[in-house]
Structure 1
Amino acid sequence: MTTSPPDPMIGRLIDGRYQVRSRIARGGMATVYLATDLRLERRVAIKIMHGHLADDNTFKTRFVQEARSAARLAHPNVVNVFDQGQDADMAYLVMEYLPGITLRDLLKDYKRLTPEQTVDIMDAVVAGLAAAHQAGIVHRDLKPENVLLADDGRIKLGDFGLARAVSANTATGQALLGTIAYLSPELVTRGVADARSDIYALGIMMYEMLTGEQPYVGEAPMQIAYQHANDSVPVPSSKNPAVPHELDELVRWATARDPHDRPADARELLLRLREIEPVVRGTAAAPFASIPLSSAMTETAPLAATRVLDPAVADAPLVDEVGETGETDASKLTALTQRRRRRGYWIFAFVLVLTGLAAGTGWYFGAGPGAFETVPETASLSPDEATALLQQSGFSVVPDERNDPVIAAGLVSGTDPEAGASAQRGSQVHLFVSLGPRILDVPQVVGMSQADARAHLVEFAVADDIVQQYSGDAPVDTVIALLDGDGAPLPATYPERGAITLVVSAGAIPAVTGMPAADAEAALVDAGLTVDYGDDVFSDDVEAGIVVSQTPNADPMRPGDTVTLVVSKGPDLVEVPNVITGQTVAQARAQLEALEFAVSSNVPEFLEGAVVATVQSPAAGERVKRGSEIQVNFG
């Protein structure tokens, strides 16, 4: 049986102060643990950046930025940040610990909320966001997962990991930061965000709370982003007729496609929300202006339970309490006293019953079957270990399976409810055993631009770094191949979230044949290639110093590869020696043929060894092509 290694952080003392107790949640940038602040003797949540991001300055800056952004806020509806620092190679952030659930957990359980529940939660969320906007901070990642509902009833806004200081147009640096379902049209189309982008996300959250679903769905994130950019969010009452008109209008205002048509910030939205809250709750004051005051008093006077008697008419018969006239004052008072005593007995008995019910309810929900427990973290454990851990916490385990791109097949990938959530003791918890990643068909992206290819490959882990390759058939920045995690060509099917590297065209290799050698080298170096030279060659057709040929030394060619150039030496000319200085024709022939000349003579071959050469053509000192014919004659 394979077991996963224990989390090395459990039990660790951070910065000599924070004792890590257990893991609460894990995200893309950091893991959150429950810890004890030994100095102040209190429980805290400590957020620790993943080790593999420690050398990434961008992530470290964003992590510190979250601490600074949240620390600037002092509001009952914003998660408090206590401390931030670095211990050895890990950056950490210390926050208040809020046992409870998230708004996402609540929506999973109840699907949709009533209008009254929605305004209760939104009042707290918008109030916290208004404080952030007033402090000059844009949250930029509003979603139900970042709204915390504490067990004690507090509602707080957290996770300022993407927060930025407000400017007229706060550029994101990446067009799709945050969660796609809550992105404003301007973030999708222009990649900029301000306070009104947060308002749009709040509007989408209100729609989801009132209807139980998000307004836009699609098979790919780009489809959802397209709808955000081009469609208007429908009113919630189109899905849930119980939604009042006032909330319809609030959602319509918050989700206007044009940012100028939305509230300027969360404070403006909060004022409007609190204006309509009495109407939503059904507690709005009735319009009494049209009813005469005397008439109203006349109609309601008989309903009064107590009268104030004028001493001047104290001897008048008592009707309200006794009910009959003509009795003496003593008998009236005796009957009244007895009736009040009986009423007191009933009230006392009623209080006892209520006290018993309260005590029983407290036991049931505090220590009995109705008590709530935190679902423990079971990811990466074996099914047997996870089952035992959940049963020890008082839960009933329901085995289940699901694909998981990270957790190895056969190990636990998670639970429903999720780890860290509160659930009733004795309730069922679905334990998911990983089937490994789904095997997906790889989309055909060869020939697409790099951006379009990434949009089609969202279910895989496409590396930010690319491999450039020269191609005369594909324009620059066009995808020409895909590589798997080992650098091999990608097959037609591939695991979900599997590593993929794009091979992108760097354009054609410059053609430098016929160029001067110096110009050819400069052109190839500018294109990212290394230049080497082969042996120069003679050429009757290409003048000296001109490139005769270029040869790629690898296939395929990528930036940094070597191109070999062959340069012309011009025609192969040889200087004709003087062979008529007392040599015989045979001696002259031997000397010239050694220089690869062809030799002809008017002296018969059998006399060449005896006859002295006296004439040569071409003359000595002339430069002629190697292999040319030289005449050596007598006379």
Structure 2
Amino acid sequence: MSNGVDRTILTKEHASGTVDRDTDLETVLRNAGRLSPRDALRYLTPLISVLEGLHTSGQSHGSLSLDLLRVTKGDDGAPRLRLLKGRPRKPTLQDASPKAALAGRMLLYSSPEQIQGAEACEFDDMYALGHMAYTLLVGEPYWIEEVDRLGFMALCNSIIGGAPEPPSVRAMRRKSIRLPHDFDAWFVLITTRKHPDHFRDITDAGIALTSVLSNPDIRELSRSVQFKFNPNILESPSSAVPAAPENLRFTAVFTIVASISLAIAIVMLLRWTNAQESPKRDPSLQSTDGAPATSNPSSR
């Protein structure tokens, strides 16, 4: 690569190809725990390079995941990555089945559009790249919390709804890991298709990622990006319950006030009714056997 990151060469092979002396990047990550920004960039840079070639030719991979990146050594001993072709297709909303747990893990790098059944395109590769970068830096996929807690349909709806919290917040909350300052902004731009500043192509995304991971203290990208995350954060003992929207708060307050007012009105009505009926029940006007009381003759 011209940027001097490393000498890794990336090739693309059929998933049925023989892989005797290599392992996948998912296993490498599992053994390492997580990767430093520099090491993550060492693997992601050649991946971006091959995706550039695919996209330039009008193709897309559509099934990117760490287990499809094979790590091996070339004949000269230099490290080599091989990107295997993807699976026939990823699960969609119509695929709920008893194998939901496995299907859920297959959604870790699926874009909302893929989950809704759209044809694979360049954006799906960019979305997957964003989540793969997070996985390498943190040691676990962004959506693993939802995969472990939610059913298949609920998981699909969560991914379609968008990330519930910034990557830096989730990484710190779950793993006590501090991500580079501008990673949140980069993550938003590469995973939010309709964002006004969404990366034009994977080349722009790669240039920005190199800057973010090579200079973890810069804050240039974050200043120009508006963060919009889904407020419906997964409720758990370790996560705060989101504040209710203003309109819901107003409705709740109005309902409480109206209920109290109605209760007061009912109490006042009952008291007024009792006051009107009290003369008929006056014991001084009734005899002990229920007959009308007579006047005392001596008083005459």
TM interval, shorter chain, is 0.5 to 0.7
Match of 1:182, SS state, is coil
In the TM superposition, what is the alpha-carbon distance from 1:274 to its structure 2 partner? 3.1
Measure, in 1, the Cα distance between the counterparts of 2:42 and 2:94. 30
Does residue 264 (structure 1) correspond to residue 195 (structure 2)? The answer is: no
The answer as to whether partners of 2:71 and 2:82 remain within 8 angstroms in 1 is: yes
The answer as to whether partners of 1:78 and 1:157 remain within 8 angstroms in 2 is: yes
In the TM superposition, what is the alpha-carbon distance from 1:136 to its structure 2 partner? 1.4
The residue identity in structure 1 corresponding to 2:124 is S
Measure, in 2, the Cα distance between the counterparts of 1:213 and 1:117. 16
Structure 2 segments unaligned to the other structure (5+ residues) = 1-7, 96-102, 219-300
Equivalence map 1:11-160=2 (5 Å): 76-80=9-13, 95=17, 97=19, 99-151=21-73, 152-160=78-86
Does residue 187 (structure 1) correspond to residue 143 (structure 2)? The answer is: no
The residue identity in structure 2 corresponding to 1:140 is G
Q: Provide Cα deviations, 1:240-261, integer angstroms capped at 9, x if missing partner.
A: 4431113332222212253765
Structure 1 segments unaligned to the other structure (5+ residues) = 1-74, 82-92, 164-171, 283-635
Measure, in 1, the Cα distance between the counterparts of 2:109 and 2:117. 15
The answer as to whether partners of 1:233 and 1:255 remain within 8 angstroms in 2 is: no
In the TM superposition, what is the alpha-carbon distance from 1:112 to its structure 2 partner? 1.9
Match of 2:215, SS state, is helix
Corresponding residue to 1:278 among 193, 214, 218: 214
Measure, in 2, the Cα distance between the counterparts of 1:197 and 1:94. 23
In the TM superposition, what is the alpha-carbon distance from 1:271 to its structure 2 partner? 2.4
Corresponding residue to 2:159 among 228, 231, 240: 228
Q: Which has the higher helix share?
A: 2
TM-score scaled by length of structure 1: 0.27
CA distance 1:210–1:122, change in 2 (3 Å): same
Match of 1:274, SS state, is helix
CA distance 1:99–1:281, change in 2 (3 Å): farther
Does residue 248 (structure 1) correspond to residue 184 (structure 2)? The answer is: yes
The answer as to whether partners of 1:128 and 1:156 remain within 8 angstroms in 2 is: no
Q: Which residue of 2 aligns with 1:523?
A: none
Measure, in 1, the Cα distance between the counterparts of 2:208 and 2:67. 25
Q: Provide Cα deviations, 1:430-475, integer angstroms capped at 9, x if missing partner.
A: xxxxxxxxxxxxxxxxxxxxxxxxxxxxxxxxxxxxxxxxxxxxxx
In the TM superposition, what is the alpha-carbon distance from 1:210 to its structure 2 partner? 1.5
In the TM superposition, what is the alpha-carbon distance from 1:264 to its structure 2 partner? 3.4
In the TM superposition, what is the alpha-carbon distance from 1:114 to its structure 2 partner? 1.5
Q: Provide Cα deviations, 1:64-114, integer angstroms capped at 9, x if missing partner.
A: xxxxxxxxxxx9412246xxxxxxxxxxx8747572211111222223221
Corresponding residue to 1:204 among 101, 106, 131: 131
The answer as to whether partners of 2:126 and 2:190 remain within 8 angstroms in 1 is: yes
Q: Which has the larger radius of gyration?
A: 1
In the TM superposition, what is the alpha-carbon distance from 1:223 to its structure 2 partner? 2.1
In the TM superposition, what is the alpha-carbon distance from 1:133 to its structure 2 partner? 1.0
Q: Which residue of 1 aligns with 2:284?
A: none
Does residue 214 (structure 1) correspond to residue 214 (structure 2)? The answer is: no
Measure, in 2, the Cα distance between the counterparts of 1:102 and 1:281. 31
CA distance 1:214–1:161, change in 2 (3 Å): closer
The answer as to whether partners of 1:185 and 1:228 remain within 8 angstroms in 2 is: yes
Match of 2:23, SS state, is strand
The residue identity in structure 2 corresponding to 1:250 is W
Measure, in 2, the Cα distance between the counterparts of 1:263 and 1:127. 16
The residue identity in structure 2 corresponding to 1:229 is I
Q: Which has the higher strand share?
A: 1
Equivalence map 1:386-425=2 (5 Å): none
Measure, in 2, the Cα distance between the counterparts of 1:94 and 1:221. 28
Measure, in 2, the Cα distance between the counterparts of 1:183 and 1:197. 7
TM-score scaled by length of structure 2: 0.54
Measure, in 2, the Cα distance between the counterparts of 1:150 and 1:208. 20
The residue identity in structure 2 corresponding to 1:137 is Q
Measure, in 2, the Cα distance between the counterparts of 1:173 and 1:105. 23
Q: Provide Cα deviations, 1:365-393, integer angstroms capped at 9, x if missing partner.
A: xxxxxxxxxxxxxxxxxxxxxxxxxxxxx
Match of 1:137, SS state, is coil
The answer as to whether partners of 1:215 and 1:233 remain within 8 angstroms in 2 is: no
- Alpha carbon RMSD of aligned pairs, Å? 3.3
CA distance 1:275–1:115, change in 2 (3 Å): closer
Q: Provide Cα deviations, 1:477-522, integer angstroms capped at 9, x if missing partner.
A: xxxxxxxxxxxxxxxxxxxxxxxxxxxxxxxxxxxxxxxxxxxxxx
The residue identity in structure 2 corresponding to 1:245 is H
Q: Provide Cα deviations, 1:395-442, integer angstroms capped at 9, x if missing partner.
A: xxxxxxxxxxxxxxxxxxxxxxxxxxxxxxxxxxxxxxxxxxxxxxxx
Measure, in 1, the Cα distance between the counterparts of 2:64 and 2:12. 14
Measure, in 1, the Cα distance between the counterparts of 2:16 and 2:162. 41
The answer as to whether partners of 2:13 and 2:82 remain within 8 angstroms in 1 is: no
Task: Name the structure, 1 or 2, with higher relative contact order (CA <8 Å, separation 6+).
Answer: 2
- State the percentage of identical aligned residues: 20
The answer as to whether partners of 1:199 and 1:255 remain within 8 angstroms in 2 is: yes
CA distance 1:226–1:136, change in 2 (3 Å): same
Match of 1:148, SS state, is strand
